[in-house]
Structure 1
Amino acid sequence: MRNVGFNVVDAIRAAREAKGRFESFHDFLKKVPTQVANKRTVESLVKAGAFDSLGHTRRALVEIHEGAVEAAVKEKRAEENGDVGFDFDSLFEDHEKDAAPSPVPDRPEWAKRDKLAFEREMLGLYVSDHPLAGLEATLAKHASTSITDLMSSDATQDGDVATIAGLVTSVQHRVARQSGNQYGMIQVEDFSGEITVMFMGKAYQEFAPALQGDSIVVVRGRVSLRDDGMNLHAYSVFEPEVGQGDESGPVMISLPDVRATTETIQALGDVLIRHRGGTEVRLKLTKGRTARVFELPYPVAVSADFYGELKSLLGPNCLA
C-alpha cells in the first residue's frame, strides 16, 4: 500500500493487540506509536478506507487528519520526554484541549468516482466498489470480447480486429524520438483485466482530445503481438451512452435474411430460453435496404453473459 510499509502494519497490529480495538479515529492516533502517526501514512489509510468502520466519511477525516496527527504526536512526545512544563495555567489549558480533541466534522462522502480513484491510487485496485459496476450489460453490448479473453485466448492473432469497452485509467501523450510525430497511449480496464491502447498517426490526430482519464470508452483496434506482450492499435474510440446502467426497451437483434436458417433460429431460441426474463426481444431481418421486424416470444434478462452468447452465435454486430 502506498506510504504504508510492513513496519507500519506490524506496529498497528501490535497496538491493537496490546491496547484493544480502536474505538474512534482519535483513539487510533492515541494508541498507535509515533511511527504510525505520520501525516502521509494516515492520509493514505483514510483514502484506502481503513477507517470506514469508525463512522466517519473519508472526506471528513482527510480534512482534519493533519491537525489531529500534530496534536497526537505532540502528546506522545511530551509523554516520552516526561515534559510537564512550568506554566501551570497553560499546562491545565493544554491538558483540557488534549482531553477533548476536536470532533470530526459531518461531511458528505466524496463522489463515487473520486472515492474509487483514491482507492486505486493507494492500493492499486478498487475495494469498496468498481467504477463500472452496473454497466456490465451496457458495455458488453458494445464490446466484441473482454480484455482478459482477448489477451489470454490462444486464438488471438497479430492483426486481429477487436472491440473492447472499459474505463480509461491512465493517459499519456508522447512524441516519437526519431520521427517527431505525436502519439497517445492509454490504459483501458474492464471487469476482467487491463490493456494498453496506442493511438498513432491519423487515429491520434482525430481522437487525441477524446483521450481523458476516468472516461468510459469503446475502442476498436488492431491487435499487436510483440515479445513484450500484447497491445491494441486503435482505429476509433467513442464514449457510449451509459446513463445509470439500466437497459430499458426491447433488445433488437439484427440478422441478414440469408443467415436466418432453421438451425440458426433454433439456436437463437435456445439462447433466449436460457436467459429468460422480463425484457422483450425483437429480431430484425435485413435484405438490402429493406428490413422486417419480428417480436420473439421469449423475453430475456439482459446481462453481459446474454450479450456474449448472442455475439458468439450471430457475430459481434448482431445488436442493433
Structure 2
Amino acid sequence: MAGSGSDFVQLHNHTHYSLLDGASKIPDLVRRTKELGMTAVGIADHGNMHGAYEMWSEAVKVGVKPIIGIEAYTTPETARQDKTRVHWGTEAQRSDDVSGGGLIAHLTLWAETDEGLKNLLKASSVANLEGRVMRYPRMDNEVLSTYSKGVICGSGCPSGIIQTRLRLGQFDEALRYAGELQDIYGRDNFYIELMDHGLKIETQVTNELLDIAKRLNAPLLATNDSHYVLEEDRGAQDAMLCINSGSRLDDPDRFRFDGSGYYLKSAEEMRAL
C-alpha cells in the first residue's frame, strides 16, 4: 500500500483550514510533498472546503497534483436536521461510542473529477445550511448519495461509523454500513482506510477492517492523519489545541493528540508502519 515516493500519495492531510486543529500551511505542505518525491498530495479538512483554491494554486506552482477533499462530519445515521444524540453502545462503552457526544461521525471524501469537486462543494454547502449542529456541519446519507458522482470515499479515522461500530463489538452493523457506502460510491471508489499512530482504538479494529475489505472486495488505503508538515511542528499544533480548548500547556488534563506521527510522512515511513 505504500510504495516509492513517486507512486505513493498522502491523502489525509489537515491544513490550517481545519481551524484550531491543523497546523499545516498549504505552501509548506506542497513543498514538502515535492521534497519527499511524491507527485500528488491530498487535503481533507474538517467539515469545510475553504482550502480548495489555495491548494490547487500552490500545488500547480511546484508541479504537484492537488487532490481536493474534505473530512466530512456525518450524522450517526440520522437525518441531517435531527439533533438527537445517538449512542449505540452501553454506558460502560461510552468512551468508544459516537463522537461529539453522540452527534457526529467522520468520513473522508476526495474529488476524482471536476464534477466530483463541484459535488463536494455542494455537499459541504448543504451540510452548513441544513445539517449544522453546534459547530458541526453534518452530511447525512441523502447528501452523500445525491452528491456522490466523481467522488472517492474513504472509511475515515477512528471516529468513522465503521470503526465506531467495530469498537462496540457490532461487526454486522459495521459491515452493513460499509456496504451502503460502497453502494453509494461504487465498488472502485470506496476504500477501507488503515491508520497507525500507535493507538489502541486503531489497532484493535485493524483485523476486522481487513475482514470487511475482503468480504466486500473493497480496496485498502493506507493513510496518515497528518495535522502538521514536519515532525518538529508537533509543539506548535499542541499549542493550537490549547487555544481551541481554552486550556494551558501545563494542564495535565487538557485535550491533546494521543499517539504520535501526525506529520507528513514519507513513503518509506509509511511502509515501515
TM-score interval w.r.t. the shorter chain?
Answer: under 0.3
Greater RCO structure (CA 8 Å; 6+ sep)? 2
TM-score, scaled to structure 1: 0.20
- Pair member with larger Rg: 1
TM-score, scaled to structure 2: 0.23
Which of the two has greater strand per residue?
1
